[in-house]
């Protein structure tokens, strides 16, 4: 029977790899894969390859690890302890193993023993563990700090990840048994808190009786490291961390002799966990089926472009305004999406926030001692505002995939394509505009009342007229930037589904990078006419009237041109939507 399961694992893996390789015959995937590979080479693994090429000297090793690896063991052990505790505290009461829906459908009714299923699951998880160990070894630039070689680190990571994986399984079985014995989740958490409290108390008692390790002002950070390490090794915490330390030491070994000296306890710990899993196995089938369904649902949501893994709403949300049965249809899309966003995305919320910004900046402006906070508010608002402006539409790219998913429905509506585009863009554009206006308000009020005039000269020269001009510029600018992800979606739909099962791998990363570059180029190209027109208006008005009037005139001119561009873009996208052949993409 196990052979059949091995066959399933092996064949699935080989077929997945084959599908990926076959896909590379298509130029769009090949180019994307090359981009992705270049990215990994230059930005992720490049340093590691270069580090492998050069032999690390004792001097550089000591430079990186002045205390020797043993000092760092308690820190690693502490991290593992926290990970394990998180599992025990937040873990479910029911023992559920991660199977796919297909696995639960085919394997659970099949004549396969629970033990075999467990072995199969452990074997499958080894694929992920091995891959994780390899990636972590590469990402952490093996040897950069600890000496040794890539293989030692990879084996070290494998020991850690495998043991943690087995512990997660065994502890889920243990939690199920405890639950059956009456220890539900609240009681379990209470028990853990009591144990941790007792442990911390005992550790504090021991620590307070120890002679001071000489933590005085101006001490070197290296000594602080030794002091912290020594503190972590004090009983009883040191005893608790002991097995975790066994697991960390092979990873920190500087060479093979050192590795073999410390690998024994770690291997025993791993073997112990394996026997724990096998001996304590409980009925995991029912909870596993439930979990498989949930996982499939989450994956489906992610494939469809959900920004976050959210649950299906179970509670009715209030509507933002009554929707009249007749009128401009894109408003219906806004109404629908605002219901989904919830009660916070309402005009009153924006007004309250604006009032709060006015109140806080006014108060800080009249309190000289707090002037620095005003400056912080101004600088942070400008930074966040610009960050959101540039990258906000990119973040929404995945969310835009919803447009494709609802296309079968929306294309059957009696609406021209441009109205569907406006409808879909309206909500993110409105929300982003309001957020940007709030940042702008904070920048103007904080900068104006503090003396950021040097930094904000371009803005403050025109006073509130310029601020109003920028406020006017924001909506069409955001709308134009939002059009770009939609254009990507309609012209390169297969590149816009990053979560799709057929769309993983290095080429997906490459595609994201190409899209990012395309986005920036298209944005610059789109902004050029408005910038030229606005610049001309500024020069002319500045020569005739002066700088204050120039900025007030230039911004609306640029804004007007952007509105024209947005209208053209929406019109074009509407046509593309009408021509879009859904059947080619689904």
Partner 1 sequence: MIEVCGLTKRYGDFTAVRELSFTVRPGEVAGLVGPNGAGKTTTLRCAAGIIPPTLGSVRVAGVDLATDPVAAKRHLAFLPDEPKLFEHLTVEQHLNFVARVYGVADWRDRAGPLLAELEMDDKRGLLPGELSRGMKQKLVIACGLLHAPKVIFFDEPLTGLDPGGIRRMKETMRRLAREGAALILSSHLLSLLDEVCTHVVILKAGEKVADGPIPDIRARYAVQPDASLEDVFFRATEDPPVLEPPPGA
Chain contacts with partner 1 (rule: CB under 8 A): 312-317, 319, 323-327, 329, 331-332, 335-336, 339-340, 405-409, 411-416, 578-579, 581-584
Nearest approach, Cβ of 25 to partner 1 (angstroms)?
16
The C-alpha atoms of residue 129 and residue 17 are separated, in whole angstroms, by 18
Q: How far is CA 385 from the centre of its chain?
A: 20
Nearest approach, Cβ of 327 to partner 1 (angstroms)?
7
Nearest approach, Cβ of 416 to partner 1 (angstroms)?
6
Nearest approach, Cβ of 404 to partner 1 (angstroms)?
12
The C-alpha atoms of residue 258 and residue 145 are separated, in whole angstroms, by 16
C-alpha angle 167-172-176 in degrees, rounded to nearest 5 = 145
SS3 of 535-548: HHHHHHHHHHCCHH
Closer by beta carbon to partner 1, 186 or else 327: 327
Closer by beta carbon to partner 1, 22 or else 453: 22
**What residues contact 453, with CB distance under 8 A and at least 6 apart?**
447, 460
Closer by beta carbon to partner 1, 113 or else 502: 502
Three-state secondary structure call for residue 421 = helix
Closer by beta carbon to partner 1, 23 or else 185: 23
Nearest approach, Cβ of 413 to partner 1 (angstroms)?
5
Yes or no: say if 150 and 36 are a contact pair by the CB < 8 Å rule: no
Yes or no: say if 170 and 276 are a contact pair by the CB < 8 Å rule: yes
Provide φ and ψ at 255, rounded to 5°.
-150, 175
Structure tokens, 401: 């995939």
The C-alpha atoms of residue 180 and residue 93 are separated, in whole angstroms, by 9
Nearest approach, Cβ of 46 to partner 1 (angstroms)?
41
Yes or no: say if 458 and 448 are a contact pair by the CB < 8 Å rule: no
Closer by beta carbon to partner 1, 67 or else 317: 317
Closer by beta carbon to partner 1, 255 or else 578: 578
Nearest approach, Cβ of 344 to partner 1 (angstroms)?
14
The C-alpha atoms of residue 538 and residue 552 are separated, in whole angstroms, by 9
Closer by beta carbon to partner 1, 218 or else 325: 325
Q: How far is CA 236 from the centre of its chain?
A: 37
**In this structure, what DSSP letter does residue 495 have?**
G
Nearest approach, Cβ of 494 to partner 1 (angstroms)?
14
What would the DSSP string read from start to end of 429-452?
A: HHHHHHHHHHHHHHHHHHHHHHT-
Nearest approach, Cβ of 136 to partner 1 (angstroms)?
37
Yes or no: say if 130 and 12 are a contact pair by the CB < 8 Å rule: no
Give whole-number Cα distances, 584 to 30, 40, 346, 501, 527, in Å: 21, 32, 39, 17, 33
Closer by beta carbon to partner 1, 3 or else 579: 579
Closer by beta carbon to partner 1, 223 or else 405: 405
Structure tokens, 91: 């873990």
Yes or no: say if 65 and 72 are a contact pair by the CB < 8 Å rule: yes
Closer by beta carbon to partner 1, 324 or else 521: 324
Nearest approach, Cβ of 294 to partner 1 (angstroms)?
13
Nearest approach, Cβ of 349 to partner 1 (angstroms)?
18
Yes or no: say if 449 and 374 are a contact pair by the CB < 8 Å rule: yes
Closer by beta carbon to partner 1, 23 or else 188: 23
> What is the per-residue burial (b if ≥16 Cβ within 10 Å, else e) of 202-235?
ebeeeeeeeeeeeeeeeeeeeeeeeebbebbbbe
Closer by beta carbon to partner 1, 135 or else 339: 339
Nearest approach, Cβ of 329 to partner 1 (angstroms)?
6
Give whole-number Cα distances, 11 to 88, 104, 381, 539, in Å: 35, 18, 54, 68
């Amino acid at each position: 029977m196990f052979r059949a399961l091995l066959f399933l694992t092996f064949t699935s893996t080989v077929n997945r790899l084959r599908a990926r390789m076959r896909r590379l015959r298509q130029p769009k995937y090949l180019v994307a894969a090359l981009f992705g590979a270049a990215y990994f080479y230059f930005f992720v693994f490049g340093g590691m390859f270069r580090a492998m090429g050069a032999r690390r000297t004792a001097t550089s090793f000591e430079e990186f690890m002045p205390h020797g690896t043993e000092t760092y063991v308690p820190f690693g052990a502490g991290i593992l302890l926290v990970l394990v505790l998180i599992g025990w505290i937040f873990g479910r009461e029911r023992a559920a193993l991660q199977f796919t829906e297909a696995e639960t459908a085919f394997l659970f009714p099949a004549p396969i023993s629970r033990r075999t299923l467990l072995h199969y699951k452990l074997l499958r998880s080894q694929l992920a563990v091995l891959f994780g160990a390899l990636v972590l070894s590469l990402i952490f630039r093996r040897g950069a700090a600890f000496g040794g070689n890539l293989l030692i680190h990879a084996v070290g990571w494998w020991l850690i990840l495998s043991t943690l994986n087995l512990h997660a399984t065994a502890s889920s079985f243990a939690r199920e048994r405890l639950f059956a014995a009456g220890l539900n989740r609240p009681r379990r958490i209470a028990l853990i808190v009591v144990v941790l409290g007792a442990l911390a108390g005992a550790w504090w008692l021991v620590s307070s009786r120890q002679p001071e390790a000489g933590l005085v002002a101006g001490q070197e950070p290296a000594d602080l490291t030794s002091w912290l390490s020594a503190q972590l090794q004090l009983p009883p915490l040191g005893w608790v961390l002991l097995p975790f330390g066994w697991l960390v030491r092979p990873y920190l070994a500087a060479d093979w002799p050192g590795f073999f000296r410390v690998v024994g306890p770690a291997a025993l710990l791993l073997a112990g966990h394996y026997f724990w899993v096998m001996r304590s196995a409980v009925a995991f089938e029912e909870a596993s089926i439930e979990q498989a369904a949930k996982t499939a649902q989450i994956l489906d949501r992610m494939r469809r472009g959900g920004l976050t893994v959210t649950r299906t709403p179970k509670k009715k949300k209030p509507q933002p305004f009554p929707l009249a049965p007749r009128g401009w249809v894109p408003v219906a899309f806004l109404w629908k999406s605002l219901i989904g966003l919830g009660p916070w995305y309402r005009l009153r919320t924006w007004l309250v926030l604006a009032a709060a910004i006015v109140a806080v900046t006014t108060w800080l402006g009249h309190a000289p001692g707090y002037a620095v906070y005003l400056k912080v508010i101004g600088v942070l608002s400008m930074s966040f505002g610009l960050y959101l402006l540039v990258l906000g539409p990119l973040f929404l790219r995945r969310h835009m995939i919803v447009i494709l998913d609802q296309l079968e429905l929306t294309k059957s509506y009696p609406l021209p394509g441009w109205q569907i585009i406006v409808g879909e863009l309206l909500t993110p554009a409105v929300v982003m505009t309001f957020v940007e206006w709030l940042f702008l308000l904070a920048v103007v009020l904080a900068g104006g009342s503090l003396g950021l005039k040097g930094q904000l000269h371009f803005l403050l020269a025109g006073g509130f007229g310029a601020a109003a001009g920028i406020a006017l510029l924001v909506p069409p600018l955001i709308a134009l930037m939002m059009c770009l992800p939609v254009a990507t979606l309609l012209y390169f739909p297969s590149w816009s589904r990053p979560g799709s099962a057929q769309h993983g791998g290095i080429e997906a990363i490459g595609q994201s990078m190409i899209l990012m570059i395309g986005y920036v180029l298209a944005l610059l190209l789109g902004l050029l006419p408005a910038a030229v027109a606005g610049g001309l208006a500024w020069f002319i008005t500045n020569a005739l009237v002066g700088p204050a009037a120039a900025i007030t005139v230039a911004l609306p001119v640029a804004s007007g041109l952007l509105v024209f561009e947005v209208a053209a873009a929406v019109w074009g996208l509407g046509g593309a939507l009408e021509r879009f052949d859904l059947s080619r993409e689904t």
